[in-house]
Amino acid sequence: EVQLLESGGGLVQPGGSLRLSCAASGFTFSSYAMTWVRRAPGKGLEWISTINRGGNTYYAGSVKGRFTISRDDSKNTLYLRMDSLRAEDTAVYYCAKDSPTLHWFEAWGQGTLITVSS
Amino acid sequence: EIVMTQSPATLSVSPGERATLSCRASQSFSTNLAWYQQKPGQAPRLLIYATSTRATGIPARFSGSGSGTEFTLTISSLQSDDFAVYYCQQYHNWPLTFGGGTKVEIK
């Protein structure tokens, strides 16, 4: 059974930094692209970033230059380093497992809440 | 960027009735579209990919169709478990984008 478990959420001040982790199990982690998606309060889903098997990365314009996605295949773990956080980054952050071929998301974690506030 | 627009924002339906949710893309593409269901406090769940292929374990009452710029998710006979928010997502090109969601509520 595929399991994705996010951690690292919490309260952070504007301008601060945070690193999220997503521990994966139940599948061959190194064989799949992985993605971060967020949902801000009262809003819909927003794609944030994807890292493919080869380590190529893709970012939404809203986070490019501030967020960094990475992966450690030896630890079956996905990361999201978030710098220069803003109030509008407040959201539940989900990690997701991409399909084997294209970028739809066939499994999701339960999410971790980030609140950016002073 | 491909902008995905879902309509209506809210759909009020009685149990047992049919629900039709729309998703419109700002640019045309073939079949690179997925649908997700999200209930309060839960993670999203994949329903449909490649426009019309049901994900593993998804009941046959869920179906997807469309191409170009117009896509549709149909729930043939709504069950109590189906009241949720539904999102479409294009994976035709970067950046990946979601629609704003359609909330299906009990009438």
Q: Say if residues A45 and A105 touch (Cβ distance below 8 Å).
A: no
| Residue B103: closest C-alpha in chain A | A44
Is residue B66 over pLDDT 90? yes
Residue A54: predicted pLDDT: 87
Stretch B43-47: mean pLDDT: 98
Of the candidates A65, A2, A54, the one whose C-alpha atom is nearest the C-alpha of residue A28 is: A2
Summarised one tens digit per residue, pLDDT across range A36-87 is 999 999 999 999 999 999 899 999 999 999 999 999 999 999 999 999 999 9
| Residue A112: closest C-alpha in chain B | B43
Cross-chain Cβ contact A45/B34 below 8 Å: no
> How many residues are there in chain B?
107
Stretch B62-85: mean pLDDT: 96
Instruction: Please tell me whether residue A42 adopts helix, strand or coil conformation.
Output: coil
B54 at interface of A, judged by CB pairs closer than 8 A? no
Going by pLDDT thresholds of 50, 70 and 90, the confidence category of residue A101 is: confident
Stretch A83-103: mean pLDDT: 96
Instruction: Identify the DSSP state of A41.
Output: T
Q: How much of chain A, in percent, has pLDDT values that exceed 70?
A: 100
Going by pLDDT thresholds of 50, 70 and 90, the confidence category of residue B49 is: very high
Which residues of chain B have a CB within 8 Å of the CB of A104? 34, 46, 49, 89, 91
Cross-chain Cβ contact B43/A111 below 8 Å: yes
